[in-house]
Amino acid sequence: GLSLSNTVLFFTVDSGRRRHAPLVNFNPFTPDSLLIQSATQQRNNRKRPHCIASSGEDMEASDVEDEKEILPPSKRVTMMQSNMMSRYASEFLELERIGCGQFGAVYKCVKRLDGCLYAIKRSKKPLAGSVDEQNALREVYAHAVLGQHRHVVRYYSAWAEEGHMLIQNEYCNGGTLSDVMADNAQRHARLSELELKDLLLQVARGLKYIHSMSLVHMDIKPSNIFISRKSVGSCDEGDDEDGLNTNVVYKIGDLGHVTQASNHQVEEGDSRYLANEVLQEDCSNLAKADIFALALTVVSAAGAEPLPRNGDAWHEIRRGKLPAVPQVLSPEFLSLLTLMIDPDPTCRPSATDLIRHPVLLTATKSSADQLRVENNALKCKNALLERELQKAQLARGSAGQKGNSSSTSRLIGKMMSRSVSLNIF
């Protein structure tokens, strides 16, 4: 009755037609992993007294083989075990490379079967048993558990091929927050305070979900915040929840550093966004380290100077001094961001606290009011256009009747519809 949907299976057949038990990985981020491990121990400890007492004449050879089949193996599936045929080449058409780094590369692909776009992350070829392989497997485990939330990049599948780990995720057509920041810097543009609050609120929703699963991200930063841009007029199931006037959906991605909130040995993320307590090996409140990194991510998106990796400026931030931003932000918003980088992690708000914070609730309400005004203006414009269209149709009908009643007369420029230009402010 155990669910093994998040596992990888690998079967072999030897020359004696005896099937070995499938190799299976235990996902440490799921409650089922404890049940699976318990079942494994019970099966390993299971004895068959009648086999010892019997001479073997009352047992068929197939019975012995079946008994061996249910015994789980002692080793796990590694990335070195792969199919002879390339699944990547057979199932996907590669369009372009959209990202690269120390982990490997990400490609924009079309799946040949369904014709939809996906992002395929292909890791570099790691050594078997290395830290890189462990990180790649951990990312798969995390995606399998967390990939079903609006503000987390959606996960579809993963497989090992020629020693590489490949992860099929949703394609985010807006790139990353880091891309937006680079474009803004080139155009001398900035995100408005309302847009910054929108960013903070959406990522906080994603963190709330991650933290509710007793997991932490540990590498929140602009390059790991992905963007999906909705077409104008599209409807999303999360619109009512967010209540924001935005066609931008922010999603948390790159889960290679995800770990359990109770873990006391973590893989450190980018030092520019790293909370000081994690550097000091205090892992008693890892969820608040995500909050610290989120505040600096918002500050970076506001146009602040590049964050320091070390030195006095690095320590100033860890003492609770917010980096300067080149735009005027409200004191209430700056106060919230400052609280999020408090040197004492217990003083920082949780993701749930952020979602309920008055500063963000006020932004949500004002944004919803603005959207309501724009919708009302659009409805008014459509109503005027509809009335003008009806008048034009009536005029055209009258003109047609007059033309039929007189064979010698011609209608030139009379009772014809005129083009109408409307500007609603």
- CATH superfamily entry for domain 87-170: Phosphorylase Kinase; domain 1 (3.30.200.20)
Q: Is 224 annotated as a binding residue?
A: yes
DSSP characters for 319-383?
A: TTPPPP-SS---HHHHHHHHHHT-SSGGGSPPHHHHHT-HHHHHHHHHHHHHHHHHHHHHHHHHH
Q: Is 104 annotated as a binding residue?
A: yes
Residue type at 413?
Answer: G
Contacts of 219 (CB under 8 A, 6+ apart): 254, 256, 257, 269, 270, 273, 293
Q: Is 235 annotated as a binding residue?
A: no
User: Whole-structure pTM over 0.75, yes or no?
Assistant: no
Residue type at 215?
Answer: L
Give dist(CA 408, CA 76) in Å, integer: 94
Q: Is 26 annotated as a binding residue?
A: no
Q: For residue 292, how many C-alpha atoms fall within 13 Å in the half-sphere facing its CB?
A: 31
Q: What is the pLDDT along the chain (425 residues), one digit of tens a residue?
A: 333 334 444 434 344 444 455 566 777 777 666 656 665 566 666 555 444 444 444 444 444 444 444 444 445 555 555 455 789 999 999 999 999 887 889 999 999 999 999 999 998 876 667 777 888 888 899 999 997 899 999 999 999 888 889 999 999 999 999 999 999 999 999 999 999 999 999 999 999 999 999 999 999 999 999 999 976 555 555 544 554 546 899 999 999 899 999 888 888 889 999 999 999 999 999 999 999 999 999 999 999 999 999 999 999 999 999 999 998 999 999 999 999 999 999 999 999 999 999 999 876 655 554 555 555 666 777 778 888 888 888 888 777 666 655 554 444 454 555 555 555 44
Q: For residue 420, how many C-alpha atoms fall within 13 Å in the half-sphere facing its CB?
A: 16
- Tell me, yes or no, if 32 is annotated catalytic: no
Q: Is 102 annotated as a binding residue?
A: yes
Contacts of 314 (CB under 8 A, 6+ apart): 271, 272, 308
> In the chain, what are the domain boundaries?
1-71, 87-170, 177-356, 377-425
**Stated length of the chain:** 425
CATH class for the domain made up of 177-356:
mainly alpha
Set 219, 242, 270, 290: catalytic member: 219
Q: Is 100 annotated as a binding residue?
A: yes
Task: Check residue 156 and give its pLDDT.
Answer: 96
Q: Is 344 annotated as a binding residue?
A: no
Give dist(CA 209, CA 32) in Å, integer: 19
Task: Check residue 403 and give its pLDDT.
Answer: 60
Give dist(CA 170, CA 148) in Å, integer: 11
